[in-house]
Structure 1
C-alpha cells in the first residue's frame, strides 16, 4: 500500500485446495464492502509445494516458505508440537517483514472479511489486535490478544519488541508465542520501549465464539472456535451466505440474514 502496509496470511495444503477454507477466505474479500482492492496487497505464505501451486492458481501474490526442519504439509493445526513450531515460525517471519520497513496486517485464513478494517485502526499504536474473548476497554491491560488478526506498525519499537519476543523462547522453549506475548507485553522491556497496544472492538471484529453479531457492523468474523477444518468450512460458508443476504436491498432479506447469523454464531 502507499504507506508500506502488507496483508499476510499463512496456509498449508489442508487449508488451500478447491472448496477449502482458503477459497472462502478469498471469496470474502471479493464480496466484502471495500475489500476487493485489498487483494492487491494480500501476500499468502504457503507451507508446502501443494499449497503453493494451488495458491498460484487462484491468487497473484504467493510465496513458499522454506521448511527446513518441519514437514508443514502434514501439519495438524491442533497437535501441540507442530502448532507450537508454526506459531514461532510466524513470529520470525513477521519480525523479518517489520525489519524490511513494512507494516503488517496478519490474518488467519479462517477469518472472513466483510468490510475494510483499516478505518478502525488507531494511528497511535504499534500493535492493534483483535481480542480474545472480548474487550470491554480497548486499552485495558487485562485483555488477551487474538493471534489470528492483528496489525503491526513497522518502527524501532516493534522491531526491538519482536527481537525480545523471540529471545524469550530460549528461556521458555515449550511455551507458545501467544503465551509469551501475554507475559511480556507489559513487562519492563515493553515499558522501556513505550509499546502501545490497542484491542479492537468485538462489535466490529468478532468470532463464532460470540453470539448475536450485528452484520451491519462486522468487519471480520473469525472461525477460531472450531478445531475441525470441515466445521470451519461449514460455518464460514453459512456466514458468507448470510452476508450476501444481509447486503441485499430488501429489508426482509436483511433481517433474515441477521437472524441466521445469530444462530450460526451460537451453534
Structure 2
C-alpha cells in the first residue's frame, strides 16, 4: 500500500492531534531564550514561576538545545569538582549550601536545615542525595561529616569564618562572597546549581518554581507581582543558574563589581548592578514570589503554597532558630491536618 493511500485512510481526529502536538512543540522549543521576538513575555513558563506545573527537569528535556554548557575546565580544587560530579542529578543539577561552626553547633541551623527535608512533603528527602555542604572551618566540617555524606572543607578563605559573624562585618562580607566564586566554579564544570542559605527551611521542592527560560532565578525579600521586574527586592539566599557561557560571564562581572562597592555584601552589589547585568548580557532574570519562597520580610505563611522559608529580616542566630522552631511545629500541624482531610 502506498504512502499516499495510507495518508488518505487517516482520520481527521488523528490529523488534528498531530497538528496540536507539533504546534505545542514548536512553541516551546523554537521560542528560545535568545529570541528577539517582541512576544518574549509569552515564552515565560508561568506555571513554573507562579505555582506547580511542569518541572524544570521535564521542560529542559524538551528544550535541551537552549542549554549549551561550557566545556569542563581544569579546577584549582579537584576535590570540590569531584564532589559536585558525585552529588549531581542525572541532568547535572546540584544543590549547594555553606555552613560555619556557629551554624553547625548541635540543635543549630544545620540540624534544622536537614530536618526540614525529612519533614517536607512529596518525599523531598531524596534531594539530600544531591546536596553539597561547604564547611568554612574545621569544626563545621567535622559536624557535617557526622550528619551528611557530601561535605567539603573550604580552606582558601581570608578571615576567621567560624563565629556567627555580625551582619555586614568584614568576616560576614568575606563569607557571603565565597559562595559567588563557588557558583562560578560549578558552572565552569558544566553543572547547574541551586544555592540555598543554611537557614532556609525546605517544605516542598523549590525547583518547581523555577522557569526554564530564565538565565538566573533569585528569591525575593519583597515581591510585587511580576517575576521579571527588577523593582522586586532580590535575596541571594536562594539562587539558581544554568551552566551557560553567559552566566559564567555574569558571575565574573558580579564578582569584579565588588571593587566598586568594597564594604558591602554580594546581595547589595547585585542590587546595584542588576540593570547593568540585564542590558550588558541580555540576562533574563526570574524573581520568585514570596508566596513560594517565603520569608519574614514579606510574611506569607500559606502552607498550601510554600516551598521554602527563609528567616531573613530577623537579626541574630538565636532569634532565627527560635522562629524556625515555631514555624516547624506549625508546619507539622498543617501536615497532620491535611493528611486527615
TM-score, length of structure 1 as denominator length: 0.89
1:2, distance to aligned residue in structure 2 (A)? 1.5
**Is the 1:44–1:62 Cα contact (8 Å) retained in structure 2?**
yes
Q: Does 1:22 align with 2:22?
A: no
Residues 191-222 of structure 1: per-residue CA shift (max 9 Å, x gap): 23221100112111111233342111110111
Distance 2:119 2:319 in 1: 22
1:134 and 2:223 matched: yes
Question: How big is the shift at 1:179?
Answer: 1.9
Larger C-alpha radius of gyration, 1 or 2? 2
Partner residue, 1:74: 163
**How much has 1:21 moved relative to structure 2?**
1.1
Secondary structure of 1:14's partner?
A: helix
Residue 203 (structure 1) aligns with: 291
> Using the alignment, how far apart are the partners of 1:37 and 1:175 within structure 2?
36
Q: What is the root-mean-square deviation in Å for CA atoms of aligned residues?
A: 1.8
Among 240, 243, 250, the residue aligned to 2:331: 243
Uncovered stretches (5+) of structure 1, i.e. residues with no partner = 255-267
SS of 1:70's partner is coil
List alignment gaps of at least 5 residues for structure 2.
1-88
* Matched length: 252
User: Quick check: which one's helix share is greater?
Assistant: 2
Residue 67 of structure 1 deviates from its aligned partner by 3.8
Number of the residue aligned with 1:167 = 256
Quote the residue 1:259 is aligned against: none
* Matching residue of 2:11: none
- Which ranges of 4 or more aligned residues in structure 1 deviate by more than 6 Å? none
Corresponding residue for 2:40?
none
- Aligned mate of 1:31, from 110, 115, 119: 119
Of 217, 222, 226, which aligns to 2:305? 217
Residue 68 of structure 1: how far off its partner (Å): 4.1
Aligned partners of 2:302 and 2:286: how far apart in 1?
Answer: 22
The 8 Å contact of residues 117 and 125 in structure 2, kept in 1 or not, is answered as: yes
Q: Per-residue CA shift, 1:74-103, capped at 9, x if unaligned?
A: 351425211111122121111111111111
